[in-house]
Amino acid sequence: MIHPEDWDRLQGIGRGISGGARTQQAEFRVLRPDGNVRWCFGTAAASFDSAKRLVRISGVTADITDRKEAEERQALLAREVDHRARNTLAVIQSIIRLSRARSVDEYVQAIEGRVKALGRAHTLLSDSRWHGADLATLAAEELAPYRAGDRVTISGPDISLTPSTAQGLALALHELATNTVKHGALSTMAGKLGLSWQLQPEALKLRWEERGGPHVARRSTRNFGLKVIVTSIEQQLGGKVTFEWDPKGLRCALSIPCSKFLKPRAASSIPTAANANGSLIGLDSATKPRVLLVEDEALVAMLIQDCLSELGLQVIGPISTVSDALAVANNGHFNAAVLDINLGDGPVYAVAERLASRGIPFVFVTGYDADSVDSRFSSVPVLQKPIEREMLTRLFVQGDRRLGDGLRGEPGESAGSNAARTAFLTR
């Protein structure tokens, strides 16, 4: 009944007893006749005669399967909590780095508001043990300070949002609320706001309508709050945002695919590295290198995109799903890539395999804390969230003549026999 992987070890323990060690303990697995595997803890005590010959082994074996499964669940939970914490820190880091304001007070106010929006979503998810956040509660808490009298109406069916959807939508609603308080309907006593949603077969449709406020002018597309709304809904959640800049009041329609909040996020079962290694990605400075960015956390993607652009790189993306990334990886023209390991529709390793086959260097990004990536990519640099700009600078350096010559040419061109294209420099 002993599991084959544990048999040699138990035999060694038996030989140890014969050699004079009177007591031994061990954990091992047994295979039951019905095929189930059970974990056991065994204690064995030896008895010897006057000639010091082993005459008997007696002991107790206890079934500890429930304890082992509880330990595995706790380890998984700790890993997921760590992952969520690192992702949240990465989002907060992005908010701090990307937010702009005309004064220190305005900057502090903007940062605090966005962090509080994340905090409200986190509280709702925590209360439900991260099973989901209620949309009505999320909207009500975001608009609570402005709901005096009948100025704000909220209506819609009960909807439970997955963690990633709740966070993205919380940020979008916060930016809409901030805009209406500063420039829209809620900036005057006569203004009113209505937020409603409907669940349709293919998508969740939300409608934001303002009326009775001051004359509304179209906001600049460079406005950070507007970017947060669009990237959170369109890039992170794969949805659609439409603005109607009616002078009588802003109207905004948000559409989120049902798949984003009706099914759990796919988790990667493959361990990832904890820190970046010492590898560098050399890029030719003769042309403006193109870097593919695959990241499903909207604000984190914005931060990485800005950092890469500041380094003189042209960013392709961001792309937020494995399927879309594979399509680009198969035929796209680029010199290197930044890949978030765990995306909404699964691990990114299929994309990494395709890039490796094309000889295109890449770096992994992850919120998980583990000792190593999949052994196939053990030499690939790994960045752990939150990401430092200095680390991106260190990784994406101008290559020396050897690697520069290897990367020179058409972006994304097959490496052929040129081994330099797949190499990573180490200090």
pLDDT at 130: 64
> How many alpha carbons lie under 13 Å from residue 132 in its C-beta half-sphere?
13
E strands within 22-104? Answer: 23-31, 37-48, 54-63
pLDDT at 394: 73
**Range(s) within the chain of domains with CATH label 3.40.50.2300:** 279-426
**Range(s) within the chain of domains with CATH label 3.30.565.10:** 99-262
- Name the superfamily (CATH) of residues 279-426: Response regulator (3.40.50.2300)
The three-state secondary structure class of 248 is: coil
- Residue with the bigger pLDDT between 21 and 239: it is 239
Band of pLDDT at residue 220, cut at 50, 70 and 90: low
In the chain, the amino acid numbered 110 is: A
Beta strands 160-161 and 133-134, pairing class: antiparallel
Q: Which of 321, 394, 395, 397 is nearest to 364 (CA)?
A: 395
Whether 387 and 339 have beta carbons less than 8 Å apart is answered as no
Digit-coded pLDDT (tens) for 263-273: 433 333 333 33
E strands within 144-278? Answer: 152-155, 160-161, 192-199, 203-211, 240-246, 249-257
The three-state secondary structure class of 384 is: strand
pTM of the model: 0.59
Asked if pLDDT for residue 65 goes beyond 90, the answer is yes
Across 375-401, average pLDDT: 70
**Range(s) within the chain of domains with CATH label 3.30.450.20:** 4-63
Measured CA to CA, the distance from residue 48 to residue 300 in angstroms comes to: 67
Q: Which fold is adopted by the domain 99-262? A: Heat Shock Protein 90 (3.30.565)
Across 113-132, average pLDDT: 76
Cβ atoms within 10 Å of 220's Cβ, excluding its own: 8
pLDDT at 73: 81
In the chain, the amino acid numbered 324 is: D
Range 4-63 classified under CATH 3.30.450.20? yes
Whether 301 and 343 have beta carbons less than 8 Å apart is answered as no
